[in-house]
Structure 1
Amino acid sequence: MKQDGLVRLLESMTMDEKINQLIQLAATFYSEDSKENTGPIREVGLTEENVWNAGSILGQSGAAESIKIQRKYMEKHRLGVPVLFMADVIHGFRTIFPIPLALGCSWDLEMAEKVAEISAREASVSGVHVVFSPMADLVRDPRWGRVMESTGEDPLLNSFFATAFVKGYQGKDPGKEPERVAACVKHYAGYGAVSGGREYNTVNMSERQLRESYLSAYHAAIEAGVKVVMTSFNTVDGIPATGNAWLLRRLLREEQKFEGIIISDWGAVEELTVHAVAKDRKEAALLALKAGVDIEMMTSCYAHHLEELAAEEPSLETLLDQAVMRVLKLKNDLGLFEDPFRGADPEKEERIVLCQEHRQVAREAALKSIVLLKNDGILPVKEGVQVAVIGPGAASKDILGAWSWQGRTQEAVSMIEGAKKIDPKILTGSEPFDYIAPSAKAVSEAVQLAERSEVVILALGEPAWMSGEAASRSDIRLPESQLEFFRKVRKINKNVIVVLYNGRPLDLQGINDANGIVEAWFPGTEGGHALAEVLWGKFNPCGRLCMSFPEQAGQLPIYYNADNTGRPAGISAEPKYISKYLDVANEAKYAFGFGLSYSEFHYGQLVLDKNVLASDGRISATIEVENRSKADGLETVQLYIRDLVGEVVRPIKELKDFRRLALPAGQKCKVTFTIEESMLRYFHSDQSFTSDAGEFDVMIGPDSANLTTQRFRLIK
């Protein structure tokens, strides 16, 4: 439909029809089971007319059912406007890929784009039009359960991944590609900085810090053409994001030039009353509409009050029309007016969802996301060695993560299943082993197996419910039952490899003396196969952390790109009156960018082709990397820069670029980065985004803690 057709359609709509387009309701409202749909309708005070005119539906999937609902919806809608189906497709639809935090550890942008493309293919054929991904929140505190949805603590890396995900979901034009979907970037803005790492909590930061660290990944998604933005639950400068006109209209609309739909998170409009910035639901509707929220998810403030508000304040009808036009435009952009059943195909759904091709990509993604944290030479497991695979995660298929909406644990590959494909003689237990409270019988059996083995693989970590939304933890150590189990096994067998399933960086106190530690995260459907390949050396691990692991939780939040202080540790000769803890180091246990390999990479001298950079010039920074081992490997060479003197305090280092380098055994290669003035810009106290003349350190190395440094000067 052309633009003038959309205008005529809008003009022909009644006030009620317009308002209903801004309502999003859950799929349960459309169930044919009267008990299932009348209850929710009654609870929120809606009518059948509201339901069958609501502009979008949340959480519906399945091609046949989506087609049925769409057909009935259009029959009931006076103007035959189609409905949008939106869903929480976070890291896969039915084929579940590693959680986003794990995908961030791959540092593989092409893989991320492929993961999103396959997720879109499975979702679209099942009737979904919009997915609530990517989450571009910068995260620095692993106590917050939703760090699992992010790609980590670095603004640049997050920006790269946000772009890759949007491209994968949307393609070049989702309206012309029925196997693509519209993406929704979330949560705008700053949700990753909730105080104390506690879900739904307050965010308190300066505007400069918001711009400097937190907005860049959202902006990258917007520049990539993302169709939808979701508001966050938190406050921004004391005002909840869903009612924050400065945030949504000035920053998002005017400055970042976003023209698509803004949707609230679940219930966030009505929660303006709980935040106590609105006295009632009517005022909440007013604040949200004025702020720029186009779709209200799962509350009915718009349905009950927008008509009344527009009558009292006629100028609001203009804002209402603009919001409705954006909803109609997205439907049009996706081709729904021409084909309301866009992409949904029961026969094709049966054929491609969880097909072997998709499982193979899930396996590859898991392989690249696994991070080897520690290895005293025990890995890879030697051929012919008697191995016991034990612990709560050994036989568990609870490896998909908390946001695997359509994923089925019975379709996942457990660690034992993967290991037996490589070594059928591994020893495994028969007793169910609980993550939190294992039975004495299960523990006793596992310890006996450890005693009979040369090497023990201990599968520990979190069950899926322990991370994700509403899963904040003040203590991010492993459960005490697991630590006690580890001690028992370590006492009778000195060759212990720990494999961790988890949705956040953990405080690893209690297992640090393991011979090997493998971070698997929640690796998805093919996790067991991928882990076995890594453990037995069929695949050389190449994952690098996108979020720091603390030495202990008392350091949190901890991140590599912190600002300097006036009394930094390690510089002053004064032993006490410096910025430090009395009982633990300042540094992370495992820093951002860290990850071991079965190869041994050696870095040579960093060489700059010049040490003065003009505003319109370039500096080439070159370093030689050598693989001094017998194993082909993939190294992630990382470039960091520090601004030595700024108008405001600058971070001690910032990631500016990286290269993923495949290097055969015994070979060496020179890696060259280009440094330009644009890489040195930052937000000043007046919010201008510029660079300062002066000195900078350029650093290159395998991770943020092990770097070779040279200095250059910027002249302007």
Structure 2
Amino acid sequence: MTVSLSAQKTDMNQFIDNLMSRMTLDEKIGQLTLLPGGDVTTGQLMNSPLAERAQQGRLGAVLNFKGADKIKALQQIAVKKSRLGIPLLIGLDVIHGYETVLPIPLAQACSWDTAAVEAGAALAAREASADGINWVYSPMVDVAHEPRWGRIAEGYGEDPFLSGLMGAAAVRGYQGRHNEYGKDHVMACLKHYALYSATEAGKDYSCVDMSRLRMYNQYFPSYKTVVEAGVGSVMSSFNIVDGIPATANKWLMTDVLRNQWHFDGFTVTDYASINEMTPLGYSKGATSAVRALKAGTDMDMCALAFDRYIKSALDDGSLTMADVDKAVRRVLEAKYKLGLFDDPYHYCNPKQTEKSIYTPTNRKLARDIAAETFVLLKNDNNVLPLKKQGTIALIGPLADDRSNLVGCWSTGDKPAKYTTIKEAMQKYLGSSAKVVYAQGCNIYSDSLRQRAVEFGRPLPWGDTAKMLREAVDAAKGADVVVACLGEMAEMSGESSTRTDLTLPDVQKNLLKALLNTGKPVVLLNFAGRPTVLTWESSHVPAIMNVWFAGSETGDALCDVLFGDKVPTGKLVNTMPRSMGQLPIFYNHISSSRPVADGNKVFRKYQSNYIDETTGPLYPFGYGLSYTTYKYGDVVLSAPSMTKDGKITASVTVTNTGDRDGDEIVEMYIHDRFSSIVRPVKELKGFRRIHLAKGATATVTFDIDATTLSYLDAEGRPFLEPGDFEIMIGPNSRDVKKAVLNVK
């Protein structure tokens, strides 16, 4: 017999009521305390501060603590030696896979494949849960317009609609399709709420300031979509919102998150962010702790602020027991939903670890997902796909490295198990073609700068002149050159802001030398962010953005480079022509004196640059294939609709090339005239379709009030009568249009 949701909730409430009635104040404060673990052995653990707190019932959760044996040992202390036996949450930054590492989230979004994102998150949950983890700090859906900001790698790009769908897919993968938290699932944590990505000048932990109108329409929708998907927890961001740190912002944490969006999980701070209110100049000590708790923050990550100050705040009346109990209940509910009270050791089975981690099945899925994320930016004279014959010169500092391919925030990776691109290509080609390799250059000409960004993932440092000669010699003797250049893994991610996103000078010098040999060159651009490839786009015949594709990068690249799979990835961030254009994004507000993208002649007293062409190098949604597609005109099922009506927009797409392929069809809208000025276009739908060569398909999108509405500064939806442009095409620039009138 199936138990109803209401009955389950009643059972949970009764259980937690009973448990809380027996808890001391210290034990309640303990549930709100999250502390970092460490790389200790099981024996050392028994005498550690964590073990002492767990035994005293003064610890609610641990992060950065790995290994089923160690986690089980700590969980046993919490369950068997503490007075009430309350189990622990065990959290980790499982951002894009565990030991089987998936592409970084930015790359995953370039697949425009929500099913793949869900499958990847489910894979990550299987592996992490098999190693003792029950709570993951993912997905991140911060809408990012600023590629100088390194954490752009962790999110899904610049569009709120796409980011929200990708984040919701990840939640389904982590938590189960119906948030059932089955045996292979974990609790997800939405981050960073809110606006963290809108930091000034791309600097991490810096100021954020914007209107509420922009919050609701351009930044909040992705968070809201993930909340509606049932995410179990939410992490507050470091930045201020309306002048108040997010962690202490009641409007953000309670009024919007809980009252408007009906979030019913628990909230946690980012790392020690309660203490970081002090350098912001907002508050310190007990005041920070009180403001955070009263705002709606439930768990304190690593600041020990609740631990230090809740008792005194209760004594002086600045907090009430109701404030504390509200937060405690939410944390206990999370543990109940995960089944930890029924089976505290469910996630601590060493035998399951052996069966579930880095299996052939997991590796194949990661390889297939990676192949969908590569974005072909240029392919003159059909240099790609490569022929499986002749001699291929594989050149670059990333061509024979196994630790940087996974990208940033890979907390469970085991690089010794992974295959380099060189190894994968040699195995893939066997005796059918010859692969010659040369490192070619360092990442930077300055060894100190390179060492600064290695962060545990070093690359060999070599003699610049010697490496360049070796690379040129290899290229001269080859039929084609594949250059593996770009960023190291830790050049993007947290605390990895860059002021110059062009290819570092020593790498560009190598690329120029390779081009000067006269051999066709394929540039594989490794990056955790959009980079500036203007010079490369003008000189290199073929360019493919390969991001950081995870542990199976080598094999996945071979699949696409040699044509076993057709590239299908499309950009989820606009790629600029120059650094001076930043931030740049497709869904901007029009100037009152606009100049069309691509305009090369400076126009005085118009919105353009003296020294740069208007518009991006590559637009949002852009990506080529080994085949070609032709789009028909946009056809509306009716020329007009009422506010409560519904119509469809359709387009025919024909595969006009000689290869089967997958195409991503994108739909945008633009409200021509509105009481509040709207962006020049907004993504409102997309379809990923498979077309055999010569085949035609009709792709249809539903349009209703939800599609066309915008939000006011209070978060209320509005749909005004008037004309809307409905745009469909292969990217945000090359679209066909039709006009819909709303009455």
Q: Quick one: which of 264, 268, 272 aligns to 1:267?
A: 272
Q: How does 1:601-620 map to 2 (within 5 A)?
A: 601-620=629-648
Is 1:427–1:449's contact at 8 Å kept on the other side of the alignment?
A: no
Q: Quick one: which of 78, 91, 96 aligns to 2:101?
A: 96
User: How far 1:195 sits from its partner (Å)?
Assistant: 0.8
User: How far 1:77 sits from its partner (Å)?
Assistant: 1.4
Matched, 1:65 2:91: no
User: How far 1:243 sits from its partner (Å)?
Assistant: 1.1
Q: Which amino acid aligns with 1:697?
A: E
User: How far 1:176 sits from its partner (Å)?
Assistant: 5.4
Is 1:195–1:202's contact at 8 Å kept on the other side of the alignment?
A: yes
SS of 1:615 mapped into structure 2: coil
SS of 1:350 mapped into structure 2: helix
Q: Which amino acid aligns with 1:304?
A: R
- 1:499 equivalent in structure 2: 524
User: How far 1:173 sits from its partner (Å)?
Assistant: 5.3
- 2:230 equivalent in structure 1: 225
Moved more, 68-77 or 212-221: 68-77
Structure-1 separation of matches of 2:506 and 2:662: 37
Q: Which amino acid aligns with 1:427?
A: V
Structure-2 separation of matches of 1:372 and 1:431: 24
How many residues are aligned here?
Answer: 709
Is 1:29–1:51's contact at 8 Å kept on the other side of the alignment?
A: no
- 2:400 equivalent in structure 1: 395
Matched, 1:435 2:443: yes
- 2:3 equivalent in structure 1: none
- 2:654 equivalent in structure 1: 626
Matched, 1:216 2:231: no
Matched, 1:5 2:20: no
Is 2:602–2:610's contact at 8 Å kept on the other side of the alignment?
A: no
- 1:676 equivalent in structure 2: 704
Structure-1 separation of matches of 2:664 and 2:181: 36
RMSD: 2.1
Matched, 1:53 2:61: no
Q: Quick one: which of 613, 622, 640 aligns to 1:585?
A: 613
> Are the structure 2 counterparts of residues 176 and 162 from structure 1 closer, same or farther at C-alpha, using a change threshold of 3 Å?
closer
Q: Identical aligned pairs, as a percentage?
A: 37
Structure-2 separation of matches of 1:589 and 1:426: 35
User: How far 1:324 sits from its partner (Å)?
Assistant: 0.6
SS of 1:639 mapped into structure 2: strand
Is 1:26–1:59's contact at 8 Å kept on the other side of the alignment?
A: yes
Matched, 1:340 2:344: yes
Is 1:399–1:412's contact at 8 Å kept on the other side of the alignment?
A: no
Q: How does 1:126-275 map to 2 (within 5 A)?
A: 126-172=131-177, 177-275=182-280
User: How far 1:302 sits from its partner (Å)?
Assistant: 0.8
TM-superposition CA deviations, 1:486-526 (whole Å, max 9, x none): 11111113411100111001011442211100111000011
Structure-1 separation of matches of 2:594 and 2:253: 38
> Are the structure 2 counterparts of residues 685 and 321 from structure 1 closer, same or farther at C-alpha, using a change threshold of 3 Å?
closer
Structure-1 separation of matches of 2:734 and 2:687: 16
- 1:411 equivalent in structure 2: 417
Q: How does 1:92-131 map to 2 (within 5 A)?
A: 92-131=97-136
Is 2:145–2:585's contact at 8 Å kept on the other side of the alignment?
A: yes
- 1:641 equivalent in structure 2: 669
Q: How does 1:436-515 map to 2 (within 5 A)?
A: 436-437=444-445, 438-440=462-464, 441-512=466-537, 513-515=539-541
> Are the structure 2 counterparts of residues 606 and 173 from structure 1 closer, same or farther at C-alpha, using a change threshold of 3 Å?
closer
Structure-2 separation of matches of 1:78 and 1:442: 64
Q: Which amino acid aligns with 2:67?
A: G
Moved more, 74-83 or 27-36: 27-36
TM-superposition CA deviations, 1:326-371 (whole Å, max 9, x none): 1111111111111001232111111210000000000011000111
- 1:296 equivalent in structure 2: 300
Is 2:97–2:123's contact at 8 Å kept on the other side of the alignment?
A: yes
> Are the structure 2 counterparts of residues 282 and 630 from structure 1 closer, same or farther at C-alpha, using a change threshold of 3 Å?
same
- 2:593 equivalent in structure 1: 567
Is 1:683–1:689's contact at 8 Å kept on the other side of the alignment?
A: yes
> Are the structure 2 counterparts of residues 662 and 32 from structure 1 closer, same or farther at C-alpha, using a change threshold of 3 Å?
closer
Structure-2 separation of matches of 1:30 and 1:305: 29
Is 2:179–2:230's contact at 8 Å kept on the other side of the alignment?
A: no
- 2:315 equivalent in structure 1: 311
Is 2:99–2:413's contact at 8 Å kept on the other side of the alignment?
A: yes
Structure-1 separation of matches of 2:361 and 2:79: 36
Is 1:109–1:160's contact at 8 Å kept on the other side of the alignment?
A: yes
Structure-1 separation of matches of 2:202 and 2:654: 40
Structure-2 separation of matches of 1:244 and 1:160: 26
User: How far 1:314 sits from its partner (Å)?
Assistant: 6.8
- 1:662 equivalent in structure 2: 690
What TM-score, normalized to structure 1? 0.96
SS of 1:274 mapped into structure 2: coil
Structure-2 separation of matches of 1:176 and 1:667: 42
> Are the structure 2 counterparts of residues 162 and 32 from structure 1 closer, same or farther at C-alpha, using a change threshold of 3 Å?
same
Q: Which amino acid aligns with 2:653?
A: V
Structure-2 separation of matches of 1:159 and 1:188: 13
User: How far 1:15 sits from its partner (Å)?
Assistant: 0.8
Structure-2 separation of matches of 1:210 and 1:385: 55
- 2:582 equivalent in structure 1: 556
> Are the structure 2 counterparts of residues 237 and 37 from structure 1 closer, same or farther at C-alpha, using a change threshold of 3 Å?
farther
Moved more, 226-235 or 67-76: 67-76
- 2:428 equivalent in structure 1: 422
TM-superposition CA deviations, 1:394-442 (whole Å, max 9, x none): 1121100111101122222222122223324333336685322452322
Question: Structure 2: which 5+ runs fail to align?
Answer: 1-10, 446-461
- 1:525 equivalent in structure 2: 551
Moved more, 434-443 or 89-98: 434-443
- 2:454 equivalent in structure 1: none
Structure-2 separation of matches of 1:297 and 1:615: 46
> Are the structure 2 counterparts of residues 685 and 166 from structure 1 closer, same or farther at C-alpha, using a change threshold of 3 Å?
closer
Is 1:30–1:69's contact at 8 Å kept on the other side of the alignment?
A: no
User: How far 1:627 sits from its partner (Å)?
Assistant: 0.9
Is 2:139–2:190's contact at 8 Å kept on the other side of the alignment?
A: yes
Is 1:613–1:677's contact at 8 Å kept on the other side of the alignment?
A: no
Structure-2 separation of matches of 1:186 and 1:140: 17
Moved more, 416-425 or 176-185: 416-425
User: How far 1:575 sits from its partner (Å)?
Assistant: 2.6
> Are the structure 2 counterparts of residues 664 and 49 from structure 1 closer, same or farther at C-alpha, using a change threshold of 3 Å?
closer
Question: Structure 1: which 5+ runs fail to align?
Answer: none
